[in-house]
Amino acid sequence: MQVTDYLTRRYATKAFDPNKVIPEPLVKELMASLRYSASSTNIQPWHFIVASTAEGKARLAKGAQGNYSYNEAKILNASHVVLFCSRTQIDDAHLQKVLAAEAAAGRFDAAPEAKAASHNTRLLYLNFHKYDKKDVPHWLEKQVYLNLGTLLYSAAVLGLDAVPLEGIDQAVLDQEFDLNAKDLTAVAAVALGYHADSDFNAKLPKARLAEEEIFTLI
């Protein structure tokens, strides 16, 4: 299959079949896609809460009440739901953890001096957003959205259905999982599984702006 085959197959699932469960090997692939997603300077400012049990999905569904109740059934009926959490700040402990992971992977074996360069580059970008742009939380959330896109495409490649959910009460979920105490905050969720026969959106053609509207070739 071509890349476009997966992209045109993917759509925002509106109703999941609660009787269909994603096989564990595919769950492992999805989790690997979350681990290996790109982020600016490899800063990896994320944490993921993965709900697959009825109890776990019920906890996530607490963030889909009131004005967000239209997403409750998606959360409860999906096979798995991933809550994307972003770090609210980056401290030295996190920087050192990332650097240690890079070293353990052997990234500096051929050039030991690259270790300091990697750390300094990450620190340069962090300080730019901290002191110049003053938008560290926003910058970190943008990295999380890169990861969200990776998961949606990975699900399509694996033949799974998915829907991103920004319509959640982030404050409720921050409290439910005590995220702020861990310097984390809820950003968005993705529900994954297999669409129900009643999902009207599965039968609709994909619509995008024409190429001439969105590309400038120079």
211 is catalytic: no
DSSP helix/strand/coil, 16 = strand
Region 5-16 average pLDDT: 96
62 is catalytic: no
Residue 78 sits in which domain range?
Answer: 3-213
Share of the chain above pLDDT 70, in %: 100
Q: Is the pLDDT of residue 1 over 90?
A: no
pLDDT in tens, 136-166: 999 999 999 999 999 999 999 999 999 999 9
Query: Is 203 a domain residue?
Result: yes
Catalytic residue of the set 14, 57, 72, 141: 14
Please report which confidence band the pLDDT of residue 203 belongs to, taking 50, 70 and 90 as the band edges.
very high
Q: For position 67, which CATH number holds?
A: 3.40.109.10
Q: Domain tally for the chain? A: 1
Catalytic residue of the set 97, 133, 166, 182: 166
Q: Name residue 32's amino acid.
A: A
Q: Rounded to whole angstroms, how far apart are CA atoms 204 and 35?
A: 32
pTM of the model: 0.97
Please report which confidence band the pLDDT of residue 110 belongs to, taking 50, 70 and 90 as the band edges.
very high
Query: Is 218 a domain residue?
Result: no
Strand-pair category, 184-193 with 161-165? antiparallel
55 is catalytic: no
